[in-house]
Each structure stands twice: as structure tokens, then as C-alpha cells.
Amino acid sequence: MARDVERKPTSFDVAKLAGVSRSAVSRAFTPGGRISPQTKEKVTRAASELGYRVNSLARGLQQDHSGIVGLVASRLDTPLRSSQVARLSELLIREGFKPMLITAERPDHVGTLIESLLGYNVAGMIFTSDTPPPDLIKDCARFGLPVVLINRPGNSGWGDRVVADNLTGGSMAAQLLIDCGATRLGCLMPRRETFSVSGRAQAFVDYATERGHPVEVLLADDQGYADARAGIAKADADVLHRIDGLFCSTDLMALGALDALRIDRGIKVPEQMQVLGFDNIEQAGWGSYDLSTISQDIDAQAATVVRLLIERMAGDASSNKLEQEPLTAILRGTTRHAR
């Protein structure tokens, strides 16, 4: 026996109940659609009463885009990236868009994942992971698809960028440790190079060296807590004892380094070695770490990314834009200046 299946309500049903035209229903559910608050309220109330849901994919085939914004990210297990993605998603939803997350932990998977995402006729793309393959960026450019890249190099030829300036970040870190009285500097960086993390670490080394403070470079396998702790735990004792100011190129690495210094190597912080991180993740402020760091403003960064995306959707055809978010020193207990 066939089951009785309730018919799904349509936009015509909503228009009839609300006493408006079908085009008014469409505008009510279109981000930026021109509709009075009173009419939108009628439509929203009628849709809620009927249990109406917009078919975004079908709409995307009929209109310029589906209202979906692709959000491509990796390292979601790190505090900085999870906060970044959460804030971006929140702002996109507030602006009436639907974020669709693509996790890209392996660079060789990025191309296939993004190609599948483009099939949804997305309104725009945000990249917080490794730079996408050039051919995909060319496709985005060919179709005029708005793209914003966060802390990525500008070699793709398409897309706006929002970055924490590496040169400023690295030199700021070096000068801060010097101002705190450190004279023999060290820098902990990952072996696997990335634009932002490796870039700021190299800027630190260059700035300090130019000012007469040679830098001992310490390497970790990657950017994680365990990688950093292992890197410091295995470091040559003579090298560690030569360092009185250590810059870790991310806060997460700094937390691993702090535990290795204090627990594994018996080195007092900040008495014997001052430690400085970068990012100002929530854990940096926890009492057991009390980490001095350089802060990226994730809220300001996300707001800039969404603003640039919306401007492009509105028809901004100017050249690729580069916006640099300000960096702020946060002094806590791992530097002597903070005491």
C-alpha cells in the first residue's frame, strides 16, 4: 500500500498565505534582496507556518549564484583555525549566505574538492588552507567568481588577500624580545614551510641578525604542540643554554616549547629563557602558560574577508586587493618585561 506523503509547500503557497507576489517571496530569501521589512516579515511568518524551505541548489541554477560560500580550510584541530572558521561562518550567516566547509588536509585533495564545490554554483570562495591549484583559480577568474585568500601568497593572479604582514610580525617579535633584555635569540619553526608561519620566522631571523643578534634556529617536524615539544626536548643542550629569548612562530608551538623547557629540560621561564608566541589563541592566556605573544585580530580579519567578498559580489571590478590586519603585542608572564 502506498504511503500518504504530505506535499512540500512551494513558494506559490507562501505567496498566497502571505498575500504577496511570488517575486516578493523570492526577494525575501535572497541575500540583499530589495524588500520592505514589513513584507519580509509577512513572508517569513507564512513560510514558517507552512514549513517552507528554500531549495538553494535549484535557485542557484536559475540565478547568478546559490548563496553558498565555499570555505576551504585545513588544520581544523588547531585553536587558531577553528576560531577563524567559526567566526567566518558566523559572519557569512549573518549576511544571509550559507557557508559550505571543505576540509583539505592533503594538498593533493584540494583540487578535486574545490571542483565539486564549484558545481553548486557558489557565490564566492574563501581559502584559509594551502594555496589552491593555479588551474582552479583560473577557472574562478574565468567565471568572475569572487575569491578571498587569508594569509596566502599573492602568486595566484586572482582574488583578494587578507594577511598578517610577515615582515612586520617577525621584526616586531625580534624587537620585543630585545626590548625585554634578551641578547641571544632563538627561533622555533616547522620544517614544512608555509607562507605565513615560515615567513614570519624568517623575518624574525633576518631582523635580529641585521641588528647584531645572531639567531639559533630550532626545527620541529610541524606546527603542532607535540611537534614543538619534541623539537625542544631533543635539542642540543649547549644550543638551548645559549638562548635567552625564544620566538615560536605560532602559539601552539610555544605551548609545546614551554612544557618541554620547564618539564623536560628543567629550564626556568622567563628567568633563564624568555618565550614569545604568535597568534594570541585562547590557550595562551591560560594561567598555566601565561604566554606573551603577538596577536592577530581574528574578528577584524573575518570582517574584512566578508566585506571584500560582498564588495566583489556587488560588482567591484578593481584590481586585486591586499589588506593587512594590525598586529598587537600582548605581554604576559613568559617575558621579564611583563613582570
Each residue's pLDDT tens digit, 148-198: 999 888 777 889 999 989 999 999 999 999 999 999 999 999 998 888 999
- The string of pLDDT tens digits covering residues 103-158 is 766 656 666 666 666 667 788 999 886 656 666 777 778 778 899 999 888 777 88
Q: What is the pLDDT of residue 29?
A: 75
Residue written as grid cell 577563524: 84
- The string of pLDDT tens digits covering residues 221-269 is 999 999 999 999 999 999 999 999 999 999 999 999 999 999 999 999 9
Give me the domains of the chain, ranges plus CATH numbers. Answer: 11-54 (1.10.260.40), 68-158 (3.40.50.2300), 166-297+329-338 (3.40.50.2300)
Q: What is the mean pLDDT of residues 62-77?
A: 76
Average predicted confidence (pLDDT) for the chain:
87
- The string of pLDDT tens digits covering residues 87-105 is 999 999 999 899 988 876 6
pTM score of the predicted model: 0.78
The maximal CA–CA distance of the chain, rounded, in angstroms, is: 86
DSSP state of 160: E
Residue 284: which pLDDT band, with cuts at 50, 70 and 90? Answer: very high
3-state secondary structure of 125: strand
Residue 135 to residues 114, 117, 122, 131, 194, Cα–Cα distance (Å): 11, 15, 17, 11, 20
Q: What is the pLDDT of residue 4?
A: 44
Bridge pairing between strands 292-296 and 327-330: antiparallel
Percentage of the chain beyond pLDDT 70 is 85
| Cβ–Cβ under 8 Å, residues 331 and 177 | no
Q: What is the pLDDT of residue 289?
A: 97
DSSP labels for 308-321? Answer: HHHHHHTT--PSP-
Residue 34: which pLDDT band, with cuts at 50, 70 and 90? Answer: confident
Is residue 62's pLDDT more than 90? no
Segments in 98-217 forming alpha helices (H): 107-118, 134-142, 166-179, 195-210
| Cβ–Cβ under 8 Å, residues 100 and 122 | yes
Peptide bond into 270 cis (omega under 30): yes
